[in-house]
Structure 1
Amino acid sequence: MESNKINYVELPAKDLAVNKAFFRQVFGWGFKDFGSEYTAFENAGLDGGFFQADFCSRPQTGAALVVLYCEDLEGALEKVKVAGGTIEQEIFEFPGGRRFHFLDPCGNEWAVWGELK
């Protein structure tokens, strides 16, 4: 492990089973449970996990925005919709790429970005 580097991220989830199913279906993540109120995600690009909580993570309330990269932005957007996510912001361009924002089934806000076509 490297000292002074981001090592792990934790996010709230009102329903661990629902969030696990969503991220498994949309992004192919795996999970390892640690008791009934915590699950670590695997194959997500960064180590982290979900903890059982009755609140959610939103940038509007001061939380950090976790941004995922995907080569097929339109495909990712469709997978999010099919799996029960809510599109918070449709695909838009920004300097250096395009992205969209979505809410997972527990209400956490995420973004997915891709390169300009």
Structure 2
Amino acid sequence: MTDFNGKFFWYELMTSDPEAAIAFYGDVVGWTTTPFGDAQQGHVYHVVSGSAGQLGGIMAIPDEAKDCGMTPWWGGYVGSADVDADAARLTAAGGSVKRPPADIPGVGRFAVVGDPGGATFMLLKGSSPEGMEAAPPMATGHVGWHELYSGDFAADLAFYTGQFGWSTGDAMDMGEMGSYQLISQTGGADFQAMTGGIMPIPKEMPAPLWLFYFVVDDIDAALERVKAGGGTLLNGPMEVPGGAWIIQATDPQGAMFALVGMRGV
């Protein structure tokens, strides 16, 4: 059983059309889904699985969130041993609580939190003693990279390293765009240990956010599936250190996501 405390381990799409999103990502990334919940009550949560097991879920945007103007969005859950204590600790460190700790029957206790720069993520402590195992690095369909478009680069870097114990690797100079700071949620400072990056939010981005890169076998073939399925390419394909290629896109409902994979020979 992997210890996910302080690490992203579950990824969730809240969308305006869950069935359409399931079809889109099933084709693009190769996910399978399993419904969880009461279909008659309209409370269905679709658990998503990649090549190495479950990794997240897809659900309809809750009515109360829709009334507040929420649009389709990918969010990430960070493991917590004590959601209430962590929410208080993160607030004292410059974060904010956007939804106070609460129980999800049969799932666990969660809270919605913001970092100092304004990006949102969730805390979760599962109610079951049986934990998940981490997927192997770059397992198809799973998250291969985590990227924060930061609203306050210095404060956010200090927040995540100080509060979650993340380590830093090299910082790459991006000129006018600032630095791209490699980070690891699992320890170690060499490139192979890196699990993501933090960069200042580009002027084209409407708000700070975490972007998650899903692993595909062939980036060019996946891009064609994105286009055929009604998605919109925002950037790429672009080669990154290590020989992989990335794209950034929005799905047909408007949620931003990213893909990482090798280029076909």
Counterparts in 2 of 1:38-77, with a 5 A limit?
A: 38-43=45-50, 47-53=55-61, 54=66, 55-57=71-73, 60=205, 61-77=207-223
TM-score, length-scaled by structure 2: 0.39
The whole-number CA distance in structure 1 between the counterparts of 2:28 and 2:258 is 13
2:85 is equivalent to residue 83 of structure 1 = no
TM-score, length-scaled by structure 1: 0.81
- Correspondence for 2:35: 33
- Are the aligned partners of 1:11 and 1:49 in contact in 2 as well (CA < 8 Å)? yes
Work out the percentage of aligned pairs sharing the same amino acid: 28
Greater shift in the superposed pair: 86-95 or 38-47: 38-47
SS in 2 for 1:87: strand
- The Cα shift of 1:65 comes to 0.7
2:115 is equivalent to residue 107 of structure 1 = no
Runs of 4+ aligned structure 1 residues displaced above 4 Å come to none
**Bigger-Rg structure (1/2):** 2
The whole-number CA distance in structure 2 between the counterparts of 1:90 and 1:6 is 25
- The Cα shift of 1:44 comes to 6.0
For structure 1, which runs of at least 5 residues remain unmatched after alignment?
none
Change (3 A) 1:27 1:114: closer
The whole-number CA distance in structure 2 between the counterparts of 1:7 and 1:25 is 23
1:30-80 deviation per Cα after TM superposition (whole angstroms, max 9, x unaligned): 112223342111226551112211412375322211102223111110011
Report the residue type matching 2:224 in the other structure: E
RMSD: 2.4
Count of aligned pairs:
117
For structure 2, which runs of at least 5 residues remain unmatched after alignment?
75-148, 150-204
- Correspondence for 1:8: 10
The whole-number CA distance in structure 2 between the counterparts of 1:114 and 1:47 is 18
Q: Which has the higher contact order (CA 8 A, sep 6+)?
A: 1
Change (3 A) 1:57 1:47: same
- Are the aligned partners of 1:57 and 1:63 in contact in 2 as well (CA < 8 Å)? no
Change (3 A) 1:74 1:31: same
